[in-house]
Amino acid sequence: MSKLVTIYGGSGFVGRYVARRMAKQGWRVRVAVRRPNEAMHVKPYGAVGQVEPVLCNIRDDASVALAMQGADAVVNCVGTFDKGGKNNFEAVQVEGAERVARLAAQEGLGNLVHISAIGADAESDSTYQRTKAAGEAAVQAAFPNAVILRPSVIFGQEDGFFNRFATMTRFGPVLPVVGADTKFQPVYVDNVAEAAEKAVLGQVEPGVYELGGPDVETFRELMQGMLSAIYRRRIVLNLPFFAANIVGGLLDFASAVTLGLITNTVLTKDQVKSLKKDNVVSEGAKGLEDLGVKPTAYPAVISEYLWRFRPQGQYDDITASAKNLNI
């Protein structure tokens, strides 16, 4: 019987790349999510029945244990930006992370991979970053041999970063950003997945790895890189932190008074706090090189999926190549 890996959050942006890699390795893959009916896109990653979405809520012991039954390794890709509601920071990023690690240790599983984030810090002002740090601590206490991966902002076809700002270019000549001078080190989603794959296969030392790509750029520079990929010119406007705080507060308030009917996916006060600090690999941290993963630069990849935001979509390149035709 081939080996089995359970990927909590295996239908999400990062999880699906991990699922695909493990399927290619010949493993059976169990994708444990709250909405397996919306996770059918993972099934063609393998042969019939090789990749199976199953119902699981990381907030519940019994359901996490059931999804783990018979597994040889687990990967936890569940995270949230949601402060309120049941699926909040504490429930998912601390208690959920601890639950997966504790049950994996009880089951005697070989390898556990936990996806955290650069910036995880017990002293941070941001609840996202504090709960990421608390989650890491809980994982290491329960499963000391865990491999913890801390990516910077992740890019790839389904990303929520470049796609979001490229979408915003459709609304007018100004592209507002918060923390234009904050530095990021974008990492390719499949590089993160490759790191997770190696950890599942037991090819890396346990510990914490910070994952960043080859480019360290400010938010403003990244936006300029994105604009040149979509052949558009926009004014990148830096929204001062105090103004962003007011906007985030109003949006959080709208979400709270409507009891979550309006979800704030635009900008939260907590995100404003984390945007104040650079999001790059720390000095001396272990990273992609230690994992034997060659980092991919973002300019080489984003054009492959952001072309739809160009003024004439896929036809821009055809028009440009036809310009020199002598007809």
Ligand X SMILES: NC(=O)c1ccc[n+]([C@@H]2O[C@H](COP(=O)([O-])OP(=O)(O)OC[C@H]3O[C@@H](n4cnc5c(N)ncnc54)[C@H](OP(=O)(O)O)[C@@H]3O)[C@@H](O)[C@H]2O)c1
Indicate the residue among 33 and 226 with the shorter CB distance to ligand X.
33
Which of the stretches 31-39, 257-265, 302-310, 311-319 binds ligand X when contact is defined by CB under 6 A? 31-39
Q: What distance in Å separates the CA atoms of residue 88 and residue 35, rounded to the nearest whole number?
A: 17
Residue nearest to ligand X (CB): 12
Q: If binding is defined by CB under 6 A, does position 58 make contact with ligand X?
A: yes
Which of the stretches 51-59, 195-203, 240-248, 266-274 binds ligand X when contact is defined by CB under 6 A? 51-59
Among 4, 5, 11, 229, binds ligand X (CB under 6 A): 11
Indicate the residue among 14 and 230 with the shorter CB distance to ligand X.
14
Q: What distance in Å separates the CA atoms of residue 154 and residue 299, rounded to the nearest whole number?
A: 13
| Cα distances (angstroms) measured from residue 325 to each of 311, 314, 322 | 21, 19, 5
Indicate the residue among 54 and 246 with the shorter CB distance to ligand X.
54
The 146-175 site mask, x for binding ligand X (CB under 6 A), equals -----x-xx-----xx--------------
The 81-120 site mask, x for binding ligand X (CB under 6 A), equals ------x----x----------------------x-x---
Listed in sequence order, the residues at least 6 apart from 178 whose beta carbon sits closer than 8 Å to its beta carbon are 219, 238, 239, 241, 244, 267, 271, 272, 275
Indicate the residue among 80 and 145 with the shorter CB distance to ligand X.
80
Q: If binding is defined by CB under 6 A, does position 22 make contact with ligand X?
A: no
Size of the site for ligand X (CB under 6 A): 27
Smallest distance from ligand X to CB 97, Å: 9
CA atoms within 13 A on the CB side of 206: 11
Smallest distance from ligand X to CB 290, Å: 18
Q: If binding is defined by CB under 6 A, does position 13 make contact with ligand X?
A: yes
Which residues within the stretch 191-220 sit at the binding site for ligand X (CB under 6 A)?
none
State the amino acid at position 76 in one-letter form. N
Q: If binding is defined by CB under 6 A, does position 12 make contact with ligand X?
A: yes
Indicate the residue among 63 and 145 with the shorter CB distance to ligand X.
63
Smallest distance from ligand X to CB 9, Å: 3
Q: What distance in Å separates the CA atoms of residue 193 and residue 204, rounded to the nearest whole number?
A: 14
CB distance 63 to 7 below 8 Å: no
Choose among 88, 66, 75: nearest CA to 256.
88
DSSP letters along 122-164, please?
A: TT-S-HHHHHHHHHHHHHHHH-TT-EEEEESSEESTT-SSHHH
Q: If binding is defined by CB under 6 A, does position 78 make contact with ligand X?
A: yes
Helix residue spans in the chain (DSSP H): 13-24, 61-68, 89, 97-107, 127-142, 162-168, 189-200, 219-229, 241-257, 269-274, 298-306, 315-322
Residues found near ligand X in the complex (CB under 6 A): 8-9, 11-15, 33-35, 38, 56-59, 77-79, 87, 92, 115, 117, 151, 153-154, 160-161
